Structure 1
Amino acid sequence: MKNQAYFMSTQQPKLTRFKQNVLSKYHIYNSIFMTLPFDTISKTGVLLPLFHETCEKGFKNGDNPTTIVETFFKKYQGRRNEESQLNLLFRFIQYIERQVVLFDAIEDAAFPIVNNMDGIGTLRSLKGSARAENKLEELKKYLREFKVRIVLTAHPTQFYPGEVLGIITDLSEAIEDNDLLKINDLLAQLGKTPFFKHHKPSPYDEAVSLMWYLQNVFYHSFGKIYDYIQQNIFEDEVLENEVINIGFWPGGDRDGNPFVTPEITLKVAQRLKESILRNYYKDVRRLKRRLTFRGVEDKVSELESKIIPMCEGKNPKAMDVQEFKSILQNIKQTLIKEHQSLYIDQVNSLINKVHLFGFHFANLDIRQDSRAHAKVFNDMVDKLLETGSDIFPKNYHDLTEQEQVKILSNIKGKIDLSIFEDEDVLKTLETMKVIKTIQEENGERAANRYIISNNQTTLNVMQLWAMLKLVAFHDDLTVDIGPLFETIEDLENAPAVMEELYTNPQYAAHLKKRGNKQTIMLGFSDGTKDGGYLMANWGIFKAKERLTEVSRKYDVTVIFFDGRGGPPARGGGKTHQFYASLGPTIEDKEVQLTIQGQTISSNFGTLDSSQYNLEQLISSGIQNKLHGESLAMSQEHIEVMDDLAKRSYKAYSDFKGHPKFVPYLERMSTLKYYAKTNIGSRPSKRGKSSELVFEDLRAIPFVGSWSQLKQNVPGFYGVGTALKHYEDAGEFDKVVELYKGSSFFKTLIENSMMSLSKSFFDLTKYMADDPEFGEFWKIIYEESETSKRLILKLTGYSELMQEEPSGKASIAIRESIVLPLLTIQQYALKKIQEMQKEGEPDKEKIEVFEKLVTRSLFGNINASRNSA
C-alpha cells in the first residue's frame, strides 16, 4: 500500500506534491508548538503571528525595521518595559529557529515524494535512456572509469549543533510515519534544546560531527548505489572502479586554521578507521544471524573476532583490508558451491562496501596556503644551512625561481626534525610524517592528496614536493599534489604553471607512477569574491578548457576538483546541471567537489536525499560524456559569453573598488558578528590586522553577510550591467541566442535567479536615506533591479524561477518564516549604530543588541539550506 501511495503521489505535478506533503504538514505541525506545556513557548507562539503580520504590512507600507518593531510593541504590548521587550525579541528568535528545524524535517520526510526517486537524473532513468538509445555498452564503458567524489569540509556554514541534527533526523522519521505522539515529544525536546554554542568546536569535534553522516548516511547510500550499478547495469560482473568515493577535510585542512595540528590529523584518521570498522562489525553481526551453515558459520565468527579488538583500538593490526576481502570472497564462493547462493546479495553488498571504503572510510586531504608553505620552507632551508647541511647550496636564496625549481626537482636526503624549534615549521613538517603513518596504518587511499591553496607558481608546488621527499617520502612519493587556483589572475596563469610541471622530467616521472593523473582544484568561492559571479564561473570554465588542452598535450588526465559552497555565489546552486552542461572541451572522467555546512544536511542529510543527489551527480557526468558533443559552444556564443563576463567583471571591480565597499560591510552588515557564532574552529578572517582588509575576508562570512542583508550581491552583481549593454546596443537577441543555445549560460542565469529570489531590498530600504551609505545602497539596489528586469526579459518569464515552482515555493516559505528574524536583526543593528554615535555609549546595552544580531544569524542561515 505504501508503494502504491508513493506511485500515486509521484504522478502529480511537483508543486502539488510539495504543497500536500510539505506546506500543509508544516501548518499542521507548527500549530503543535502552541500546545507545548512551556509558558514562554505558548505566549511567544501567540504573539509571533501578530509580529509577523506587522512585519509584512510594515514593509508593504515602506516602513523601516525600527518603526515596525516599535509599532508592534505600541499596538500589542504597550505595557512592556524595554527589558521585557528585548526578552520577547530573543524568544521570537528561539521560536523561529525551531520553526526552521520543523520545516527542514518535513522537507526531509517528503523528499522521496516531492523528488521522484526513479525520475530524470536517477540511475534507473539513466539505464533506461541508455538502453533506449542503444548506448548501454557505452554507459558501461564510462562507468568503468568515471568517478564522483564529494569532499566533506568543516567550513562553518552549518549552524545546527549535533543534538539538533539528531532531532531533525528523528523528527523526519516521525513525520514520515505520521506518529503524532513522537512528533509532540520531539518538538518538546526541540523547545528545550539550546542552539547556541558557548565555545568554538575543535577541528577534532568538527571531524567527529561530520563522521555521523559517514556512518549513518553515506555508508548506506554509497553501498546502495554501487550495488545497483553492479547488479542492474553490470549484471553482477566484478567492477574494479568504485564509481563513487568520499573525501574528508576536517582534521587535515590547515589553511588559515592554526588549531589543526599533526596530532589531530592522526587522531582523525584513527577515528575514521574505527568508524568504518564499527559499521562493518554491524554488517558482520547481521550476516552471522543468517549464515548459520556448515563451512560458512566459522568464517563469519572469525571475522567478528578480529574486528572487535580493532574497533576498540586494542589490536589495530589484527587483520588488514586484503584479508578481510579474502575471507568475504571465500564465504561467497562457499555459498555458491554448497548453499545455492543463499544470502549471497548481503555478502556481495558488504564486499562492495569494503571495496568503496577500505579501512580508511574517507580520503583525508591535507591543505595549506602556499604563503604559509613558502615561509616554512625558507625557514627550513635557513636552519639546514645554519647547521652545515649540504642538501641545499649556500646561495639557494639568491637563485632565480627556475634555478630553485631545478634544485628542488632533484632533491635528495633526509632531515632530522629535532633540529627545528619554530612551531610552524615543526607543525608543517610533522604533518608530512603523519601522512606516511596514516598510509601505513589505514592504506594509501587514507591520505594521499595535498592541496596547495592560493597556488600561483611552479615553485609553490615544488617547495611542497621537496618537503614531502625530505621528511617522509624519500624514495617513493605516494602523495598527489593538487594546486588550487582561485583568483581571476591565478586562473589565467594556471595553464602555464601546469605546462612547466608537465615538462619537468622529475615531476612527469612522478605523475607516470601515479597513473598519469593530475588533480587541479579550482575555487569558486574566492573566485566570485575576487571577480564577481559571471567572471568567476566563466574564468573557471575557460581555465578548465585550457588546462584540459595542455594536459592532453602531455598525455595527462586532469581531474578537476571544484571548491564549491552552498549558495550560487560560492559555486553552489544547481550543481548537477552545471556538470551536465560542460561539453567536450573539458576533461570529465571525474567529478569532484566540496560539500559543506548546510549543503551536507540539505542535499545529503538523509538516505533518500543522499542517494538522489549522488545519482544526479553521477548521471550529470555521464550525460555530459554521452551527449557532450551537442553541448559545445559555437564561436559566436563564446564571444558573447566572453564579452558578458568582461563587462560584468568591470562592473563588479568598480563596485568592489568603491570607497564605501569595505566600510559598508563592516558597519552596516553582520560581517563582524560571524566570529562570535562559535560554529567553526577556524578564525573568520585570514590576516591578523585589526583593520578590515578586503583580501583577508573569507568567502563564507563575505557571502553570508550579503545574504543576511538580503542583498545577495555576489550572486548577481554585474549581470544586469552586462545584459544592459546588449539591450542598449539593440543586440539583445545575441544574448537570447546564447541562453537558448548554451546549457552552461542557462545554468548560470538560473542560479543568479535563485540569488535574486532571495533578495529583499525593502528590509534595508531605510539605508537609502543614510547620509554616509545612502548612495552606495542605491547602486546595489539599481543593479539588482536591472538584473531582475533583464533576466526576466532574457528568459521570457513573468517571475523569477517560474520554471521551478516547488523550489520557488520552498524559498518563499523559508523567507516568510525568517522575515521577523531579519527585521529584529536590522532593528538591533540600527540601535547599535545610534548608540555608538552617542558621546558616552552604554556598553552593556550595546552588548545586548549585539547578542540579538548574533543570535539572529543562526535561523537566517539555516533557513537558506535550499540554496545548495
Structure 2
Amino acid sequence: MSTQPKLIRFNQNVVSKYQIYNSIFMTLPFDSISKTVVLLPLFYETCKKGFENGENPTTIVETFFKKYQGRRNHQSQINLLFRFIQYIERQVVLFDAVEDAAFPIVHNMEGIGTLRSLKENAEADHKKQLLQQYLEAFKVRIVLTAHPTQFYPGTVLGIITDLAEAIKHDNLSEINSLLAQLGKTPFFKDKKPTPYDEAVNLTWYLKNVFYHSFGSIYDYVQQNIFDDAEIDNSIINIGFWPGGDRDGNPFVTPQITLDVAKKLKESIIKNYIKDVKYLRRRLTFRGIRERIITLNHQLHNTLLNRDEDNQITLLEFRNELKTIRQILISQHQSLYVDKLTMLINRTTLFGYHFASLDIRQDSRVHDEMFSALVNELQANKSDIFPDNYFDLPLKEQLKLLSGIKGTVDGIEFKDELAINITETIKAMKSIQEQNGEIACNRYIISNNQTTLNVLQLFAMLKIVAFGDDLTADVVPLFETVTDLQASANVMEDLYTDKNYRAHLEQRGNKQTIMLGFSDGTKDGGYLMANWAIFKAKEALTQLSRNYGIDVIFFDGRGGPPARGGGKTHQFYASLGPTIEDKEIQLTIQGQTISSNFGTLESSQYNMEQLISSGISNRLNDKNQAMSSDNKKVMDHLAELSYKAYVNFKNHPKFLPYLERMSTLKYYAKTNIGSRPSKRGKSTKLIFEDLRAIPFVGSWSQLKQNVPGFFGVGTALKYYEDKNEFEKVRSLYNDSKFFKTLVENSMMSLSKSFFDLTKYMADDDEFGEFWKIIYAEYETSKRLLLKLTNSEELMENEPVGKASIDVRESIVLPLLTIQQYALKKIQELEKAEVRNEKDIAVYEKIVMRSLFGNINASRNSA
C-alpha cells in the first residue's frame, strides 16, 4: 500500500482527530462550562467575520456581548472572557497532544535526515568507514535553557504526555478522564518559579524523554553503524542552564547551582536504579544475580549519600557492568546482553551528571566583581595584584592576568560581589569533584566585548579554585553586531597569548565560542544579525585553523526565526566548508523543547536530523562555499536591511509604542520565569536593557513579528527598483544559507496578522508608526513571494503551514480578548478619574491571555 502524502496524513491524524476530541472536551460536565462551550464557537465566528469586515477588537467583543450576552451584567461578561481564556489554553494542550501522538505517522521516521537514511546512503556510496570516522569525532550538544517562552507546570506536561499516549491508542475512556483532569488542573502559578523550580521542571524532560530517546540513538549507531563495537565518543550530550545562568538573574546563587547539580545527579541515578531493577528480574543466573543485587544497593547508597564504603563511583559502576557483560557472553549465551549494553551506553551519555551545567554571567557584572575582588585582595595585603594594578596600561593588565599566580585561600571577603564570584567558582570545582568534570566545566561570558573580559575571568578561575590545573573552559559570547565584528581580534589576542595558549593545549586545543542570535537580531535586525554571525564564524574558523585550534561554535538560537530558530537542521546543513562544523551546539528553549523534543519520537527524529545535517555535508561534499559575487549581494542586502532596521529602531515612537501598545510591560508580571524581564534597574524603558525574549515576544503577541522580517523588504526593493532582482534570485538559487534565511523569514511573515491591530492606524500618536511596520510587512511579503516564485507563504512546507493555521485559529479569540483589554486599559488611564479596580481586572485579562498565547505558540515567531 502506498504512503499518502504528508499533508493528507497530517489532516487525517491531527486536524480531524483534534476536531473529534475537542467535541468530546466540549461535552464534559464542568461547572459553568456548558455556557462557555456553546458561546466560544460563536465568539470565534464573531472574531473571524469581524476582522474580515475590518472591525477592531473592541467592536468585535462589544458586538458579541450585545448579540449573545445582552442581558448579562458587566461582571458576568468579564467572567465569560476569563472562562474563554481558560478553555482556549486547554484546547491548545489538546492540539499539542494530538500532534505529538501523530508525530511518527506524519513524519517519516526512517526517511531523509534520519540515521537509517544516513547509513544506507553511506553504504551505497561505499563510505561506511568514512561515516564511522566522522561519528568518532562529531558531537551535537543541545543546551536546555529556562528562558520563559513557554512554561507549563510539570502537572500539565504529564497530562500532555499521557493524553498523547491515549490518543495514539484511541483509548476513549482514558482520553475522557484526562480531558476532565485537564479541565480542573491550574495552568498558571501564583508566584514566580525560582531557578531551582525551573531546573526541576526541565529535569522532567531529561528523565522521561532524553534518557530514552538519546539512548536509542546511541544504541542504533553502535549496533548498525559500528557493528556493535564500542564507540570512543558520546556523539550527543545535553547542556543545562537553569541554576547556572546568572545573566540578569539575581536569584541564581552559588547554593542554587550546587542544589541543581545535586538534583541532576539524583535524577540520573534514579534512572539507573530503574534499569538495574529490570536487569535484576532478568539476570537471575549464578554468578550474576548477586552482583546485580550489590549494584542495586550501592546505587541506592550513592543516591542517598550514606554508608560511604558501600557507594559506587561512575567508573566502578561502568566497569562492573562491563564485567557482567563479559560473563553473560562467555557463560550464558549472551542472554539479555543487549539490555546490559543499553545501560552501559547510557552511562557513556549521562555519567553521574545527566546534563552539563553551564555557568553564565554578563561581562559588565564580571568587571564589577573583578574590581571588588582585587580591591579586597589589596586591602588584605595580598601580593597577587600590585597596588597600582588599575593604573597599569591595558597591555600590562592583560599580561598580568594571563600569567596570574597565587590563591585567595584564607582571605575572608566582605564585598557581596567578591563573595558571589568566589563562591560561584568554588561551586564549579565542587560539582566537578562530586559529579565528574563534565558536570560543570564551562563559564560563558555574555556580552563579551574585549580580550580583557576573557582574561579577567581566566584569572579569577585560577586564583579562586583551580590554580594551574584549570579544568574548565572560558567561553566568550559575542552578541551585538559590533561585538561580532570585533570577535576575531579578541580571539587572536588570546591565541597569541602564551599562557592562554598553554591552557588551550591542556584542553585539547579546543576553543568554544558562543554567538547570540537573539540579541543580534534585536540589535541589528534579521538579515544583518544572521549575516554578521555567518561572517564572524568564517573569520573565526580561518583564524582558528591558522593557529591549529579546533573552534567549536555554540549558537544561542531561540525557538522562532526572529531569534535565530526556525528550521534548525536546514540552517546547519547550509553553512558550507568555510565554517567549522565538527560539533553542533545550540540552545533549546521554551516551546522548542516541547515541540521539537517533547516526546520520544520527536526528540529522536529532530536529534537525528541535527546529526545528519552535520555529517551528510562532509560525506557528500556538496555544499559549496558562497561565490564572491553572491557574497557581495548578501553583504549589500544585510547593509540595506540594517540601515532600515536601525532607522526604525531609532524612531522616536519605537520604545513608547512597545511600552504602551504591546504586552511588553506585562511579561515581568506573568509568573512564567525566575528572571527579570530587563537587565537594568532603571524604571525608564531603555532599549539596551531589554531582554530579547520579551522584546521578540511582544511583537509576536501583536502578531507583527517585526524582528523576523523588518528590513528584508526594503533591501529586496532596492534590487527591484534597480532592475537587478536577478542578482538576488541567483543568490537564492545558489546559496542554501540565504535560502534558509528566506524560508525562516517567510515563516515569521505567515504568523503575522495585521488585521488584529489595524485599528492602531487611526491612533493619533502611533498611527504613522503602525503604518511604517505594515508597509515593510507588505513589501517583504510581496518580494519574498516574487523571489521564491510562490503564490503564498510557506508554500513548500504545507504541513508546517497547516499546523500554524490550526493554532492561529485556536488562539484568534485569545488575541482578540487581549487587544480588547489593552485598549480598555488605555482608555481608563486617560480618564479624568482613574478606576484602579477596573484597570487591575483588564491587566489580569492581558496577563492571562499572554500566558495562554505563550503556551499556545509552539511555533510562534
TM category, shorter: over 0.9
Alpha-carbon distance between aligned partners in 1 of 2:308 and 2:84, rounded to the nearest angstrom: 51
Q: Which of 687, 704, 708 matches 1:715?
A: 708
Q: Which of 409, 412, 418 matches 1:419?
A: 412
1:390 Cα deviation from its structure 2 partner? 1.2
Instruction: Give CA deviations for 1:31-87 in whole Å, capped at 9, x if unaligned.
Output: 112211113222101000000000011001000000000111111111011111111
Q: Which residue pairs with 1:66 in the alignment?
A: 58
Q: Which residue pairs with 1:678 in the alignment?
A: 671
1:277 Cα deviation from its structure 2 partner? 0.6
Q: Which amino acid aligns with 2:93?
A: V
Q: Which amino acid aligns with 1:866?
A: N
Q: Which of 296, 301, 304 matches 1:309?
A: 301
Change over 3 Å in CA distance of 1:654–1:627 after alignment to 2: farther
Is 1:289 aligned to residue 281 of structure 2?
yes
Q: Which moved more, 1:212-221 or 1:134-143?
A: 134-143
1:752 Cα deviation from its structure 2 partner? 0.4
Q: Which amino acid aligns with 1:132?
A: A
Is 1:758 aligned to residue 758 of structure 2?
no
Q: Which amino acid aligns with 2:280?
A: K
Alpha-carbon distance between aligned partners in 1 of 2:104 and 2:417, rounded to the nearest angstrom: 49
Report 1:177-188 matches (<5 A).
177-188=169-180
Residue 285 of structure 1: SS of its match in structure 2? Answer: helix
Residue 365 of structure 1: SS of its match in structure 2? Answer: strand
Q: Which residue pairs with 1:166 in the alignment?
A: 158
Q: Which of 317, 322, 326 matches 1:324?
A: 317
Is 1:636 aligned to residue 621 of structure 2?
no
Alpha-carbon distance between aligned partners in 1 of 2:308 and 2:792, rounded to the nearest angstrom: 60
Conserved? CA contact 1:262–1:431, under 8 Å: yes
Q: Which residue pairs with 2:48 in the alignment?
A: 56
Q: Which of 491, 504, 511 matches 1:511?
A: 504
Q: Which of 6, 18, 25 matches 2:10?
A: 18
Alpha-carbon distance between aligned partners in 1 of 2:475 and 2:534, rounded to the nearest angstrom: 18
Aligned-residue identity in percent: 72
Change over 3 Å in CA distance of 1:514–1:299 after alignment to 2: same
Q: Which of 805, 814, 821 matches 1:821?
A: 814
Q: Which residue pairs with 2:604 in the alignment?
A: 611
Conserved? CA contact 2:279–2:292, under 8 Å: yes
Is 1:194 aligned to residue 182 of structure 2?
no
1:315 Cα deviation from its structure 2 partner? 4.5
Q: Which amino acid aligns with 1:172?
A: A
Q: Which amino acid aligns with 2:59?
A: T
Alpha-carbon distance between aligned partners in 1 of 2:305 and 2:50, rounded to the nearest angstrom: 61
Q: Which of 20, 23, 42 matches 1:28?
A: 20
Residue 302 of structure 2: SS of its match in structure 1? Answer: helix
Instruction: Give CA deviations for 1:356-415 in whole Å, capped at 9, x if unaligned.
Output: 111111111100011111101011111111221111111100112211010011111111
1:725 Cα deviation from its structure 2 partner? 0.5
1:294 Cα deviation from its structure 2 partner? 1.5
Q: Which of 858, 863, 867 matches 2:856?
A: 863
1:223 Cα deviation from its structure 2 partner? 0.6
Q: Which residue pairs with 2:119 in the alignment?
A: 127
Instruction: Give CA deviations for 1:625-663 in whole Å, capped at 9, x if unaligned.
Output: 223453311111111111111100010000000000000
Q: Which of 425, 432, 440 matches 2:425?
A: 432
Q: Which amino acid aligns with 1:180?
A: L
Is 1:496 aligned to residue 489 of structure 2?
yes
1:138 Cα deviation from its structure 2 partner? 1.3
Q: Which residue pairs with 1:226 in the alignment?
A: 218
Alpha-carbon distance between aligned partners in 1 of 2:60 and 2:333, rounded to the nearest angstrom: 74
1:311 Cα deviation from its structure 2 partner? 1.8
Alpha-carbon distance between aligned partners in 2 of 1:372 and 1:463, rounded to the nearest angstrom: 11
Runs of 4+ with >4 A deviation: none
Residue 711 of structure 1: SS of its match in structure 2? Answer: coil
Conserved? CA contact 1:582–1:628, under 8 Å: no
Report 1:72-471 matches (<5 A).
72-315=64-307, 318-416=311-409, 418-471=411-464
Q: Which moved more, 1:301-310 or 1:809-818?
A: 301-310
1:685 Cα deviation from its structure 2 partner? 0.5
Q: Which residue pairs with 1:528 in the alignment?
A: 521
Q: Which of 590, 593, 614 matches 2:586?
A: 593
Length-normalised TM-score, structure 2: 0.99
Q: Which amino acid aligns with 2:203?
A: M
Instruction: Give CA deviations for 1:99-129 in whole Å, capped at 9, x if unaligned.
Output: 0000000000000011111111100011111
Conserved? CA contact 1:573–1:867, under 8 Å: no
Instruction: Give CA deviations for 1:315-342 in whole Å, capped at 9, x if unaligned.
Output: 4771111101110110111111111111
1:159 Cα deviation from its structure 2 partner? 2.9
1:687 Cα deviation from its structure 2 partner? 0.4
Q: Which moved more, 1:279-288 or 1:629-638?
A: 629-638
Residue 486 of structure 2: SS of its match in structure 1? Answer: helix
Alpha-carbon distance between aligned partners in 2 of 1:475 and 1:805, rounded to the nearest angstrom: 56
Q: Which of 625, 633, 636 matches 2:618?
A: 625
Alpha-carbon distance between aligned partners in 1 of 2:24 and 2:411, rounded to the nearest angstrom: 63
Q: Which residue pairs with 1:844 in the alignment?
A: 837
Change over 3 Å in CA distance of 1:558–1:197 after alignment to 2: same
Instruction: Give CA deviations for 1:173-198 in whole Å, capped at 9, x if unaligned.
Output: 11001011111111111111111111
Alpha-carbon distance between aligned partners in 2 of 1:316 and 1:670, rounded to the nearest angstrom: 54
Q: Which residue pairs with 2:772 in the alignment?
A: 779
Q: Which amino acid aligns with 1:465?
A: F
1:314 Cα deviation from its structure 2 partner? 2.4
Q: Which residue pairs with 1:3 in the alignment?
A: none
Alpha-carbon distance between aligned partners in 2 of 1:295 and 1:144, rounded to the nearest angstrom: 35
List alignment gaps of at least 5 residues for structure 1.
1-7
1:867 Cα deviation from its structure 2 partner? 4.5
Q: Which moved more, 1:611-620 or 1:154-163?
A: 154-163
Conserved? CA contact 1:584–1:629, under 8 Å: no
Alpha-carbon distance between aligned partners in 1 of 2:646 and 2:668, rounded to the nearest angstrom: 27
Q: Which of 787, 794, 800 matches 2:787?
A: 794
Alpha-carbon distance between aligned partners in 2 of 1:839 and 1:760, rounded to the nearest angstrom: 34
Alpha-carbon distance between aligned partners in 2 of 1:623 and 1:417, rounded to the nearest angstrom: 54
Alpha-carbon distance between aligned partners in 2 of 1:315 and 1:633, rounded to the nearest angstrom: 62
Alpha-carbon distance between aligned partners in 2 of 1:313 and 1:68, rounded to the nearest angstrom: 62
Q: Which amino acid aligns with 1:28?
A: I
Residue 150 of structure 2: SS of its match in structure 1? Answer: coil
Aligned pairs, number: 860
Conserved? CA contact 1:417–1:426, under 8 Å: no
Instruction: Give CA deviations for 1:746-774 in whole Å, capped at 9, x if unaligned.
Output: 00000001000000000000000001000
Q: Which moved more, 1:634-643 or 1:755-764?
A: 634-643
Q: Which amino acid aligns with 2:423?
A: E
Conserved? CA contact 1:631–1:743, under 8 Å: no
Residue 668 of structure 2: SS of its match in structure 1? Answer: helix
Alpha-carbon distance between aligned partners in 2 of 1:408 and 1:860, rounded to the nearest angstrom: 48
Alpha-carbon distance between aligned partners in 1 of 2:33 and 2:94, rounded to the nearest angstrom: 15
Alpha-carbon distance between aligned partners in 2 of 1:152 and 1:630, rounded to the nearest angstrom: 29
List alignment gaps of at least 5 residues for structure 2.
none
Residue 643 of structure 1: SS of its match in structure 2? Answer: helix
Instruction: Give CA deviations for 1:514-543 in whole Å, capped at 9, x if unaligned.
Output: 000000000000000000000100100000
Residue 631 of structure 1: SS of its match in structure 2? Answer: coil
Alpha-carbon distance between aligned partners in 1 of 2:248 and 2:860, rounded to the nearest angstrom: 26
Alpha-carbon distance between aligned partners in 2 of 1:454 and 1:252, rounded to the nearest angstrom: 17
**CA RMSD in angstroms, aligned pairs only:** 1.1
Is 1:561 aligned to residue 554 of structure 2?
yes
Q: Which of 760, 768, 779 matches 2:761?
A: 768
Q: Which amino acid aligns with 1:155?
A: H
Q: Which of 721, 738, 742 matches 2:731?
A: 738
Residue 228 of structure 2: SS of its match in structure 1? Answer: coil
